[in-house]
Amino acid sequence: MRFKLACHATSGWIVLAILLPSVSCSQRNTTTTEQVRSEKKITFVGAGQDWPRFLGNRFDGSVEQTSLSIDWNTPPGLAWSIQVGDGYGLGTVSNGRFFQLDASRQFDVVTSRLVSRERLRCFDFVSGTELWSKSNSYQYSDLLGYEDGPRTSPTVVGDRVISYGVTGVLKCRDVKNGTEIWSVDTNATYGVVQNFFGVGSSPLVLDGKVIVMVGGSPPEDQDVAPMQLDRVTYNGSAVVAFDLDNGKEIWRTGDDLASYSSPRPIKIDGADYVLVFARTGLLLVNPVKGTTEWQFQHRASIRDSVNAMVPIVSGDEVFISECYELGSALLQVSKAKYQVIWKDPPRDRRRQAMRSHWATPVLVDGFLYGCSGRNAPDSDFRCISWKTGKVEWVDSRRIRSSVARIGEYLVVLEERGLMQILRVNSKQFDLVAEWDLSKDQGTRSGIKYPCWAAPVIVGNRILVRGTDRILCLEFALEKTKP
Encode pLDDT of 394-438 as tens digits.
Answer: 998 889 999 999 999 999 999 999 999 999 999 999 999 999 999
Beta bridge partners of 474: 77, 461
Strands (E), 8-76: 25-29, 33-38, 62-63
The pLDDT-based confidence of 24 (bands split at 50, 70, 90) is: very low
Return the bridge partners of 383, or none: 369, 393
Residue 265: what pLDDT?
99
Q: 43: which residues sit within 8 A by CB, 6+ positions away?
A: none
**φ/ψ of residue 76, rounded to 5:** -70, 150
> Which residues lie below 8 Å from residue 13, measured CB to CB, with a gap of 6+?
none
Confidence band, pLDDT 50/70/90 cuts, at residue 131: very high
Report d(CA 166, CA 140) in Å as an integer: 8
Nearest Cα to 310, choosing from 414, 204, 469, 233? 204
Rounded to whole angstroms, how far apart are CA atoms 194 and 197?
A: 8
Q: Burial, 470: exposed, middle or buried (Cβ in 10 Å; 0-12, 13-18, 19+)? A: buried
Q: Do 448 and 41 touch, CB atoms closer than 8 A? A: no
pLDDT band at 481 (very low <50, low <70, confident <90, very high): low
Query: Is residue 460 within 8 Å of residue 65, measured between CB atoms?
Result: no
- pLDDT over 80 (residue 112): no
pLDDT classification of 34: cutoffs 50, 70, 90? very low
Q: Indicate whether 125 pLDDT > 60.
A: yes
What is the CATH architecture assignment of 4-474? 8 Propeller (2.140)
Residue type, 437: L
Detail the DSSP E strand segments found in 125-257. Answer: 130-137, 155-157, 160-164, 169-174, 180-185, 204-206, 209-213, 239-243, 249-253
pLDDT of the residue at 482: 53
Alpha-helical runs (H) found in 227-373: none
Closest CA to 459 of 44, 41, 46, 43: 46
Q: How confident is the model at residue 11 (pLDDT cuts 50, 70, 90)?
A: very low
Between 146 and 286, where is the model more confident?
286
pLDDT at 113: 81
- CB contact at 8 A, 353 and 391: yes
Residues in the chain: 482
Average pLDDT over residues 221-228: 94
> How far is the CA of 162 from the CAs of 30, 113, 135, in angstroms?
27, 29, 14
Highest mean pLDDT among 5-14, 143-152, 169-178: 169-178
pLDDT (mean) for 175-179: 99
At 453, the pLDDT band (50, 70, 90 cuts) reads very high
| Cβ count near 383 (within 10 Å) | 29
Q: How far apart are the first and last CA of the chain?
A: 49
Instruction: Please report, for residues 12, 180, 396, 466, the alpha-carbon distance to residue 7 in angstroms, rounded to integers and kept in the order given.
Output: 17, 52, 5, 27
pLDDT digits (tens, 9 = 90+) for 358-396: 999 999 999 999 999 999 889 999 999 999 999 999 998
Q: Using 50, 70 and 90 to split pLDDT, how confident is the model at 106?
A: confident
Is 17's pLDDT higher than 50? Answer: no
Q: How many CB atoms lie within 10 A of CB 429?
A: 23
Integer Cα distance of 296 and 9 in angstroms: 41
Indicate if the pLDDT at residue 40 is higher than 70.
no
CB 201 within 8 A of CB 256: no
* pLDDT grade for 66, boundaries at 50, 70 and 90: low
pLDDT at 246 over 80: yes
> 150-171, pLDDT tens digit by residue?
999 999 999 999 999 999 999 9
Which of 32-36, 45-49, 190-194, 463-467 shows the lowest per-residue confidence on average (mean pLDDT)?
32-36
